[in-house]
C-alpha cells in the first residue's frame, strides 16, 4: 500500500510539533531555557525528517540544528549521522570515564544489548 507523501506529512508533522513542544516546556520548567542561547541540537533518527530544523526553530524560538557524532574514527562514514550522535557520544563518554569511580556499569547485560543493537544497526546500513 502506497501513501502519498503529503498525507504522511499531515500525520507526522503535528506529532513532531507536539513532541518538540513537550521538550520545550520541560526545558523551560527545568530553568535551563536561558542557558540555551546558542540553540538546540537535535539527535536521533527523527532529526533527519525534512523540515524538522525549521519547525524546531518555530517551537523553541532559537536556532536548531541536527547533531552529528564528532571525535570518532574508523566507521565515521557509517555512523556520521544524527541518528547515531547520542549513542556515539555516550560510548565516547564511557570510554573516557571508564577508570573513574562514579562510572560503573551496574548491569553489563544492558550495556552488551546496547552495543549489540548499535552493531546490528551499523550492519544493516553496510549490507
Predicted confidence at residue 26, as pLDDT, reads 93
Most confident of 10-14, 80-84, 95-99: 10-14
Residue 45 is assigned to a structural domain of this protein = yes
**In sequence order, which ranges of 1-127 are alpha helices (DSSP H)?**
5-30, 52-60, 76-79, 82-96, 108-126
Last residue of a domain, one of 24, 41, 66: 66
45 φ, ψ (degrees, to nearest 5)? -60, -35
In a domain, 116, yes or no: yes
How much is the average pLDDT of 5-19? Answer: 93
Find where cell 556499569 sits: 105
Q: Are residues 85 and 53 in the same domain?
A: no
Structural domain for 113, as ranges = 76-126
Bigger pLDDT: 20 vs 36: 20
The pLDDT tens digits for 106-126 are 555 666 777 677 666 544 444
Which tens digits make up the pLDDT trace of 58-96? Answer: 999 999 999 888 777 666 677 778 888 888 888 878 878
Give the angle subtended at the CA of 85 by the CAs of 26 and 97, to the nearest 5°: 90
Residue 71 forms part of a structural domain = no
Closest CA to 75 of 25, 13, 119, 39: 119
Residue 118 placed within a domain = yes
Number of domains observed in the structure of the chain: 2
Query: Do 21 and 53 fall into the same domain?
Result: yes
What's the confidence (pLDDT) of residue 19? 95
- Is position 99 within any domain? yes
60 and 10 within one domain: yes
Checking DSSP bridges between strand 40-42 and strand 64-66, what pairing results, if any? parallel
Amino acid at each position: 500500500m502506497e501513501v502519498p507523501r503529503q498525507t504522511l506529512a499531515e500525520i507526522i508533522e503535528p506529532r513532531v510539533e507536539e513532541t518538540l513542544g513537550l521538550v520545550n516546556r520541560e526545558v523551560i520548567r527545568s530553568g535551563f531555557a536561558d542557558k540555551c542561547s546558542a540553540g538546540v541540537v537535535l539527535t536521533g533518527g527523527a532529526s533527519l525528517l525534512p523540515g524538522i530544523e525549521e519547525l524546531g526553530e518555530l517551537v523553541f524560538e532559537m536556532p536548531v540544528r541536527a547533531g552529528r557524532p564528532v571525535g570518532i574514527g574508523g566507521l565515521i562514514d557509517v555512523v556520521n549521522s544524527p541518528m547515531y550522535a547520542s549513542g556515539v557520544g555516550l560510548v565516547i563518554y564511557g570510554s573516557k570515564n571508564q577508570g573513574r569511580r562514579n562510572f560503573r556499569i551496574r548491569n553489563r547485560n544492558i550495556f552488551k544489548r546496547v552495543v549489540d543493537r548499535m552493531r546490528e544497526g551499523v550492519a544493516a546500513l553496510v549490507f
